[in-house]
Amino acid sequence: VNPPNKTQPETVDLANKTFEINSRQMLNETLQISDSHSLRSFLKNKGITPKAYLSQSTTFDNENEDTSKYIYGKEIGRGGMGAIISTHDVDTRRNIVTKILLRTASKKALLRFIEEAQITAQLEHPNIVPIYEIGVNKEGNIFYTMQHVKGDSLQKIIEKTENQAEFPLSRFLQILVDVSNAVAFAHSKKVIHRDLKPDNIMLGEYGEVILMDFGLAKILTNDDPEDVEELIEAVTSTRTEFNEML
């Protein structure tokens, strides 16, 4: 009588690993295919029309046959390096904003713009503006998209607040706490904002406090002692000026 055929453990492990590798390869190939086609092209080819609009009203032009992911609206802000443009994300059907680099001649400006987006994107915190995507448009200009924070900057609120009844001190203190939480989180990741001011603090329509504009942010590294020395010098200088005022 022949003994029962038993599969060796090594054979089972090899088969499992082979299956895992093949499955991962198929998944990667599927993701690459999906990345190379727009969602609108995919839906058109499948004859599918999602009906997921929460509102029929929009400030953007009606979607056309173009397969672009974004529909751009008006320019709502402009800085030294970039412009902020109201944007409609066709795939997710939400309104966001796009910051686009205006000048690409300077490698330094290009690098700072990319680092601004990448640093902010990694600082996932309730009081820091979320970044959605960074890319290059058809014209070859680099951009990144982020949440459209609807509301006013702290600077505007300070300017239009005539008395404490309109905006009590307790609310200002809570804003300070929220901003401090955002800054503390950034510091825990060794990121220094370096441009904290009321203009860069947004108060959303639901009362949320959002820290914006990490364009001057700096990552402190243990490898470069000049980073720490520069920070100590800046703090010491600020404290000296404050003591002189007193």
Q: Which of 205, 186, 202 is nearest to 194 (CA)?
A: 186
DSSP single-letter state for residue 200? G
pLDDT at res. 38:
77
Structure tokens at 228: 């720490």
pLDDT at res. 167:
86
Alpha helices in 4-69 (DSSP H): 9-35, 39-46
Q: Which of 147, 163, 150, 40 is nearest to 94 (CA)?
A: 147
Q: Residues with catalytic annotation?
A: 195
Degrees, nearest 5: CA angle 114-29-144: 20
CA gap 204, 215 in Å, rounded: 21
| Nearest-10 Cα torsion for 185, 188, 189, 195 | 60
pLDDT at res. 226:
59
pLDDT at res. 209:
98
Per-residue tens of pLDDT for the chain, all 246 residues: 555 555 566 666 666 666 677 666 665 554 454 444 678 788 888 888 888 878 765 556 555 556 678 999 999 988 767 899 999 998 999 999 999 998 666 888 899 999 999 999 999 999 999 999 999 988 888 999 999 999 999 999 999 888 777 789 999 999 999 999 999 999 999 999 999 999 999 999 999 999 999 999 999 986 655 555 555 455 444 445 434 433
